[in-house]
Amino acid sequence: MFVGRQKEMAALGRLYAREDFQFVVMYGRRRVGKTTLLNEFVKDKPALFFSAPQHDDAGALRVFSERLHSFLGQGGLSPFATWAAAFEQLAKAAEDRRFVLIIDEFPYLANANRSIPSLLQNAIDRRLKDGRLFLVLCGSSLGFMERGVLSAKSPLYGRATAQLRITPFDFATAADFYPQYRFESKMTAFGVLGGIPKYLETFVDTEPVENNIVDHILNDRSLLYEEPMNFLREELREPATYNAIIEAIAGGASKLNEIATKAGLPTDKCAKYLRTLISLHVVQREMPVIGQNRKNGIYRICDNFFTFWYRYVFENADMVERGDGQGLYDLFVRPDLDNYIGATVFEGICQEYLWGLNARRKLPFVFSRAGRWWGNDPRRREQSEIDIIAFHKRQALFCECKWRTEKLGLDVLETLRERAGLFPDFSEKHLYLFSRSGFTKGLRDHVSQLDSAEVTLVGLEDLENVLLDTDEGSQRST
């Protein structure tokens, strides 16, 4: 089943339709669906798909030669003596013929022969740019693709006609993997797995989420059990140190000094490792959406599955390897799962809902920025935070997101209203309350008596209507 990627497919289609030479650099982390996307793209097109093998240069050239000869109907010929000769033959074939060449896992090829980027650059400049080839270089090593292909230091710099970074799915797209799940189960599965298609494919929506977690994560024979470790081993030379840093963040540390202390590292050295994790899109440094004082920056893990794995699996691996995945779930995951979803996942889904309504022009105004805010409350002389502020100029939405088993009451609204008062520069303010379990009668009665659209109550049904396109979207609740 091919899910999502409409924008990427449309972009590739537009480039292909131009008929001239195109050079697309496509990259994204392992298992994000790059190969699936490319296979879908070339279904109805003449294409040579070469997946670079992880072996020596001579072996790679031999395999490429065989594939190219076969594609061109020249079976039985000897392998090319050099890559330059292979690229020359490619250029001749593309002089008056439109076809796609995909070199998948290009970093393997370049690591086996460091001159490959220069040889390819020379072929593009001398011959390929005047032909009709549609060339795609694809890779999972984010660091290599950004430094070795796209950066100014690369011989290939400036040759690409397009670049596509393939990112994980958002919640709305990920939910398509689970048509049998109720909406809340879709959210929980996304909170556990994130938006990587290969991870999403492992869960079976005829089984409860709990069973899928035990069978497909807390099981040392499963695909996902060692996935984060394998990712770090492939990308980094010191995975043990990075493990300690990611575990510290997953466990709640967010400031540099907190992370360094938990990981047992000097602060300056920890900062260096964090920069590497940021470059790999594993960790992000987040600033308050308003008043971006660098001292207030915090670190968060970008990927839900990495957060889940390092929060529950990493330090409890012995239980998994002794076959007690169910015990791990019962003791550590189940009692904490609501806290986990509420702390890291639900806010993101609520923000996705707001962006969806924003695109449909279904909000009181069109906002241009949105994010979390935290900082000092001078009136109470304490730290305060707001889950989401979405704003444009002097208009703002202030949002509170609660993943609770009890209904939200008037006290939550009054707290949000008070915190919104910390921002007097906004002349127009709207308050949004998001709740997993609904709202008390007292809160609903209060909102129904307001004269304006000051307060909007958003429940799971409203989120489902907008995010899964089951309705035109939520209206002001009463």
pLDDT (tens digit per residue) in 51-67:
998 878 999 999 999 99
Q: Which residues contact 114 (CB under 8 A, 6 or more apart)?
A: none
What's the fold here for domain 6-165?
Rossmann fold (3.40.50)
Does residue 378 surpass a pLDDT of 70?
Answer: yes
Report the alpha-carbon distance of residue 441 to residue 410 in Å, rounded.
9
Number of Cβ within a 10 Å radius of residue 393: 12
Does residue 269 surpass a pLDDT of 60?
Answer: yes
Q: Give me the mean pLDDT over the 373-386 stretch.
A: 89
Report the alpha-carbon distance of residue 343 to residue 387 in Å, rounded.
10
Does residue 458 surpass a pLDDT of 90?
Answer: yes
User: Can you give the pLDDT at residue 475?
Assistant: 38
CA-to-CA dists, residue 306 to 70, 80, 158, 194, 301, angstroms: 42, 43, 34, 9, 7
Token output for 394: 């002097």
Q: What is the pLDDT of residues 9-22, one digit of tens each?
A: 999 999 999 989 99
Does residue 453 surpass a pLDDT of 70?
Answer: yes
Does residue 474 surpass a pLDDT of 70?
Answer: no
Report the alpha-carbon distance of residue 156 to residue 153 in Å, rounded.
9
Percent of the chain with pLDDT over 70: 97
What is the residue extent of each domain of the chain?
A: 6-165, 204-342, 360-467
pLDDT tier, 295 (very low <50, low <70, confident <90, very high otherwise): confident
Q: Give me the mean pLDDT over the 359-368 stretch.
A: 96
pLDDT tier, 471 (very low <50, low <70, confident <90, very high otherwise): low
CB-based contacts of 421-427 (< 8 A; 24+ apart in sequence): 422/377, 422/379, 422/384, 423/290, 423/389, 423/396, 423/398, 425/394, 426/391, 426/394, 426/395, 426/396, 427/394, 427/395
What's the fold here for domain 360-467?
Trna Endonuclease; Chain: A, domain 1 (3.40.1350)
Does residue 388 surpass a pLDDT of 60?
Answer: yes
User: Can you give the pLDDT at residue 470?
Assistant: 65
User: Can you give the pLDDT at residue 54?
Assistant: 81
User: Which CATH number is associated with domain 204-342?
Assistant: 1.10.10.10
Q: Which of 208, 166, 180 is closest to 326 using CA atoms? A: 208
Q: What is the pLDDT of residues 75-105, one digit of tens each?
A: 778 999 999 999 999 999 999 999 999 999 9
Model confidence, pTM: 0.89
Q: Give me the mean pLDDT over the 439-443 stretch.
A: 96
Q: Give me the mean pLDDT over the 268-286 stretch.
A: 92
Q: Which residues contact 338 (CB under 8 A, 6 or more apart)?
A: 403, 404, 405
pLDDT tier, 450 (very low <50, low <70, confident <90, very high otherwise): confident
Q: Which of 76, 24, 83 is closest to 52 using CA atoms? A: 83
Q: Give me the mean pLDDT over the 101-127 stretch.
A: 94
Q: Give me the mean pLDDT over the 33-44 stretch.
A: 94
pLDDT tier, 155 (very low <50, low <70, confident <90, very high otherwise): very high
CB 108 within 8 A of CB 53: yes
Does residue 35 surpass a pLDDT of 60?
Answer: yes
User: Can you give the pLDDT at residue 236?
Assistant: 85
Mean pLDDT across the chain, nearest whole number? 93
